């Protein structure tokens, strides 16, 4: 929320990041079938940083002042549901990203074209895996936010403002195209 102090925002982000790690370890990775490299990339990229701050704030966390925030638990928030992101985007689940990486056979050096309105969490995880990711989006706001998030994570994804339907022909060929 806009009226939160930087300290309140950092506490929320830290609690949500820990909830994501708990979910990864206790649910997704415990089921097996996730490539160890993908598991490490999922651990390295904090999914909740891509989520709309107002959606993330509705978690049921208590701040140091004792103030209750929202009605959900941070743990429940991260478990297996896509979430909203600013500019009309959505944030894929960890399981969706793991499945896409497996299905597309992403390896270090893979050339990947990503199209659509996912907030960039998937692109960040693929970049963490060592893929050369190219992202096409039709929103200046989404691309600007994504660039800022990626810079903060020290990840590189090539981005282009264009209609995703047209792809990015000049950057091909690609080993995988994810929509």
Radius of gyration of the chain from Cα atoms?
Answer: 16
Q: Give the other-Cβ count within 10 Å of 38's Cβ.
A: 22
Residues noted as catalytic? 84
CA dihedral for 107, 162, 87, 142, sign (positive or negative):
positive
> Of 148, 156, 146, 82, which Cα lies nearest the Cα of 119?
146
Residue 132 has φ and ψ, to the nearest 5°, of -95, 100
If one counts every other C-beta atom within 10 angstroms of the C-beta of residue 32, the result is 6
CA distance readout (Å), 55 to 78, 91, 147: 11, 11, 21
């Amino acid at each position: 929320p806009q009226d939160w102090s930087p300290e309140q925002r950092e506490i929320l982000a830290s609690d949500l990041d820990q909830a994501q790690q708990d979910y990864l370890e206790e649910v997704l990775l415990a089921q097996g079938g996730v490539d160890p490299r993908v598991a490490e990339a999922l651990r390295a990229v904090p999914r909740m940083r891509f989520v709309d701050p107002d959606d993330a704030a509705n978690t049921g966390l208590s701040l140091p002042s004792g103030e209750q925030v929202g009605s959900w638990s941070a743990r429940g928030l991260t478990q297996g549901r896509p979430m909203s992101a600013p500019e009309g985007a959505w944030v894929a689940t960890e399981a969706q990203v793991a499945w896409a990486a497996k299905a597309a056979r992403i390896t270090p050096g893979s050339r990947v074209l990503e199209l659509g309105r996912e907030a960039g969490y998937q692109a960040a995880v693929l970049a963490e895996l060592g893929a050369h990711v190219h992202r096409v989006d039709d929103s200046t706001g989404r691309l600007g936010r994504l660039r800022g998030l990626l810079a903060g994570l020290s990840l590189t994804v090539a981005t282009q403002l264009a209609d995703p339907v047209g792809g990015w022909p000049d950057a091909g060929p690609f080993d995988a195209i994810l929509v």
